[in-house]
Amino acid sequence: MASARVVVGTVAGAVLLPLLAVPAHAGSPAAPAVDLTGLLGVLRSATEQGAPGSMARIDDGNSVYRAAAGVGDRKSEHTMSDTDRFRIGSVTKTFTAVVLLQLVDEKKLELDAPVNRYLPGLLPDDRITVRHVLSHRSGLYDYTNEMFAKTVQGFEAVRKKVFTPEELVKRSLRKPRTNAAGAVYAYSNTNFVVAGMLIEKLTGNPVRTEYEKRIIEPLQLRDTFYVHPGMKIPGPHARGYLTPDQAGAPLVDATEQTVSWAQSAGALISSTRDLNTFLSALLGGRLTSAAQLAQMERWMPAGSGQAYGLGLRRRDLSCGVSVYGHTGAVQGFYTYAFASKDGKRALAAVANTSNNGTVLNTMLRTLDSAFCGKATKAPRGKAPVERHEDMAPAVTLD
């Protein structure tokens, strides 16, 4: 076994935080070594493209890589740190799906039963099943398309508002459905608002209680919170900055908000450490039965190089490796949280800006650095364009 060592230094303007070298056996035996230099280059690029700061953490067996660039607070110039908490946006959806899959294990829920069996009269079509909701195949319109058609104006209109889940579903139902139940994948935050309603109906508890009891406390996730409708991020945290639609306009500090527009679709707070712990536990089979994890990994096409299961995304990387997790975009933060198939290597990366498609696409490259190793050739063709799915498509790159 190779001995671990601690390294502290700087690379190309990015901060290299304490690093443990990877033992030969860490993670998957055949996995390429982490490309730390490449990772730091990605983080530095994100800050050059408009993110005040960015950071990433890789957990690989007993070894940990931590890297950061830029600042987590523009006023204090506090540097980004992997101890900082942040809003994880739609990575929340994976937590929500895990709770529902646990309820399937407990025989309290059937994936192929109509949602209306459990929430009578909520949806206009009895053919929409729990599986359709968790796989974004319900056809329910995403109410955030209209809510955030104007980025800053839309955000300020809801920053302090508190919605009931029923109000959010009603906003969706004012619009025609995007497709027939079960037909195709069409991402919609409405689906996971419905999922949260299912959790509360079947358990009799708020979603916060179920997240804590089933995931946060068993995994000892000390940085993970569901504070809705509270507006503050507790403890040490990075501040999040929303990019206006108008080029050159100053960034808007979006850190404090209820996130009531998202709730069980996107309101959790966490850290890079906790996200890696969560995904490693999930993919390692410690949160659901093997049967339910297999259900989460029943993939449907979801865009170039992607597939979607039940609250879980698969990405197929440039080196042929597939990784599993979720992306998150909420005002002020972009998050990538993915792990290897066995959960032994996990990456969580965040930039503290949003509504900046260039930064979003740049942060996608952290996955290659973490799971593909050092590239021997520059990739050919244009970089893939990432769809910013937590917000209105009109304000993102297509």
Q: Which residues are marked as active site?
A: 90
Tokens of 121: 């009269």
Residue 18 phi, psi dihedral angles, 5° rounding: -50, 130
For the chain, give the secondary structure using H, E and C: CCCCCEEEEEECCEEEEEEECCCCCCCCCCCCCCCHHHHHHHHHHHHHCCCCEEEEEEEECCEEEEEEEEECCCCCCCECCCCCEEECHHHHHHHHHHHHHHHHHCCCCCCCCEHHHHCCCCCCCCCCEHHHHHCCCCCCCCCHHHHCCCHHHHHHHHCCCCCCHHHHHHHHHCCCCCCCCCCCCCCCHHHHHHHHHHHHHHHCCCHHHHHHHHHHCCCCCCCCECCCCCCCCCCCECCCEECCCCCCCCCEECCCCCCCCCHHHCCCEECHHHHHHHHHHHHCCCCCCHHHHHHHCCCEECCCCEEECCCCEEEECCCCCEEEEEEEEECCEEEEEEECCCCCEEEEEEECEECCHHHHHHHHCHHHHHHCCCCCCCCCCCCCCCCCCCCCHHHCCC
187 and 326 Cβ atoms separated by less than 8 Å? no
Among candidate residues 249, 270, 258, 255, the one with its CA nearest the CA of residue 328:
270
Place of tokens 């689906």: 191
Quote the CA–CA distance of 159 and 255 in Å, as a whole number: 10
CA-derived radius of gyration, the chain: 20
Among candidate residues 102, 174, 100, the one with its CA nearest the CA of residue 140:
174
227 and 234 Cβ atoms separated by less than 8 Å? yes
